[in-house]
Structure 1
């Protein structure tokens, strides 16, 4: 998502560091889209789940070149934000546990942080 594309509201940025690949990012995005509480909010128009090029990473960072952004929008976005942040953290932890069971090697290091979607 590019700067100035009209997105307003609060956001939740999900990044995978370590041995993460862009395939991991895509798999995690698909997982988040299937999580019932998040899917319900998407269907209600209160949430958008986007994959975008990673912004603002440290030089030479290890990990995927993409990140996931969950944008909370609409009336009551502020009240909804804390609940969605916790739901997102739980969903990422569940995805990571599932990935550890089905794939060998080092697991990605997830980071789930609040962000202003317009800032990146």
Structure 2
């Protein structure tokens, strides 16, 4: 677990800052849905991957206006949270590396953070 992750919530929020567009958000969501460990959780009804408007952007905020939320469902969600966080960070890093190979220019700056449902 990374520093600051001692209390991992059952949900994971993925945000792209910097040069990111809403197209990048859609592409990353599709990538996450195809990542083997995450895909299996979705297929089994244990995980939902949602795209939603960001709530933290002040007026004039640069970057995408959307974020991705990975929501664990059912009993044992808290027990899977740390593993989901690790898998999501790996998947986002792989997506970013792939994007660097196919698109020139400035790259989005991803943030992957645990979220407790009472913080929403």
TM-score, normalisation: structure 2? 0.87
After superposition, the C-alpha distances for 1:35-60 in whole angstroms (9 at most, x for unaligned) are: 01001001111110000011123453
Matches within 5 A, 1:44-55: 44-55=44-55
Contact 1:14/1:112 (8 A) holds in 2: yes
- Give the Cα–Cα distance (whole angstroms) in 2 for the partners of residues 88 and 65 of structure 1: 20
Runs of 4+ in 1 over 4 A off after TM superposition: none
Give the equivalent residue in structure 2 for 1:71: 71
Question: How has the CA–CA distance of structure 1 residues 58 and 114 changed in structure 2, closer, same or farther, with 3 Å as cutoff?
Answer: farther
Contact 1:12/1:115 (8 A) holds in 2: yes
Root mean square deviation of aligned Cα? 1.5
Gaps of 5+ in 1: 1-8
Contact 1:51/1:68 (8 A) holds in 2: yes
- Equivalenced residue count is 112
The alpha carbon displacement at 1:34 in A equals 0.3
Give the equivalent residue in structure 2 for 1:19: 19
Give the equivalent residue in structure 1 for 2:114: 114
After superposition, the C-alpha distances for 1:70-91 in whole angstroms (9 at most, x for unaligned) are: 0011111111110010000000
